[in-house]
Structure 1
Amino acid sequence: MIKSELKQGEIGDFYWGYINRINDDADLIETLKDNTKEFSEFLESIPKDKWDYRYSPEKWSILEMIQHIIDTERIFQYRALCFARNENGSLPGFDHDVYVLNSDAEKRKPADLIEEFKCVRESCLFLYKSFSDERLQIIGNMNDMNATPRAIGFIMAGHALHHKEIISNKYL
């Protein structure tokens, strides 16, 4: 599945900001593999003294941001699975700020978060490899908007790139 095959209506407008960070000719599985490796290597390069840093008191630390990415990927994988299995009900949204406040990320070690990200993404890859092209295109409803598993896959990769840019520009 190539990113350029995505159509308007497969995901809400907000999420195209993440998807558009990916090249049009990008293959979904290869994108997730490459993104996992590149993002993990980027995280491993962050100096230890920066993981607790906040560039403003109300902003998340890098520890919290990586926990947010992990939580979000788990939720998006669940949504993709539900849609691929023809779930008819609408899936609820989630408040990422509440999740971060209740994550205890500040008690985590950077190496553990990096390893957890890799494991969650490995699970994601197995999930997406199991989907046929037909299953990737099934439209479901999440947070009162339509979505397909294939759009969700590209969102996850773009979401990591979004946060990599924030970390690079505001934290390092």
Structure 2
Amino acid sequence: MISQLRKEEYHPYYGAYIAKAEFPDIVEGLKAGKTEFIDFVSVLPDEKLAFAYAEEKWTLAEVLLHLIDSERIFAYRALRFARKDNTPLAGFDQDVYVPNSNAKHMTKNDIIEDYEAVRNSSIAMYKNFTKEMLQFIGTASDSPMSARALGYILAGHQRHHLEVINEKYL
């Protein structure tokens, strides 16, 4: 439950994402987010994928692939922590990932297919985490992090970017 999440389970930077997680149950939130993402992307005009709202900003396709890349990385971290691996995990530089994402060659269907595979994997993983697994705190990007916090971050990070897309891209 999100109400049980302690501030010691995540870096304050992620608090804004966690605040956007709308469901108290991680699995239910991830399932609802999956439906929302697929419905959202399905109706986007194809020509919008290459649109960036300003010079030096990511295209819409790059933002969508950023969500997928981030989910893969955060889910990997959650798995490591749930398995009580206390090896500190390095951060990742999204500004290196995005230009190397091949976004300009992906269709809406490609993006949806990739997203669906990643999100289904995250849902399956979180379904099988016990309360103890969710609460183990590891280190990522030099900060404490729990698998539980990462689940809420996944949901809130997606919500944040869909709000940005609605505001600046559409």
TM range (shorter): over 0.9
Matches of 2:111 and 2:56, distance apart in 1: 21
| Residue type of the alignment partner of 2:40 | F
Percent sequence identity is 44
Q: Deviations over 1:11-39 (max 9, x none)?
A: 0000010010124x621111111111112
Which residue pairs with 1:8 in the alignment? Answer: 7
Deviation of 1:131 (Å) = 0.7
Which residue pairs with 1:168 in the alignment? Answer: 166
**Please, which of 40, 43, 58 is the counterpart of residue 42 of structure 1?**
40
Matches of 1:133 and 1:26, distance apart in 2: 14
**Please, which of 51, 54, 60 is the counterpart of residue 53 of structure 1?**
51
Matches within 5 A, 1:5-84: 5-23=4-22, 26-84=24-82
Matches within 5 A, 1:80-95: 80-95=78-93
Mapped pair 1:119 → 2:112: no
| Residue type of the alignment partner of 1:11 | Y
CA RMSD, 1 decimal: 0.9
Cα contact 2:21–2:156 (8 A) shared by 1: yes
Which residue pairs with 1:135 in the alignment? Answer: 133
Deviation of 1:118 (Å) = 1.1
| Residue type of the alignment partner of 1:42 | F
Gaps of 5+ in 1: none
Q: Deviations over 1:121-157 (max 9, x none)?
A: 0000111111101100000000000000010001001
Gaps of 5+ in 2: none
Runs of 4+ deviating beyond 3 Å: none
Partner secondary structure for residue 9 of structure 1: helix
Matches of 1:6 and 1:85, distance apart in 2: 19
Partner secondary structure for residue 90 of structure 1: coil
Cα contact 2:68–2:115 (8 A) shared by 1: yes
Matches of 1:22 and 1:100, distance apart in 2: 24
Q: Deviations over 1:59-115 (max 9, x none)?
A: 001111111111110000100000011112100000001001111111111211111
TM-score (normalised: structure 2): 0.97
**Greater helix fraction, Structure 1 or Structure 2:** 2
Matches of 1:109 and 1:42, distance apart in 2: 14
TM-score (normalised: structure 1): 0.96
Count residues with an aligned counterpart: 170
Matches of 1:77 and 1:41, distance apart in 2: 22
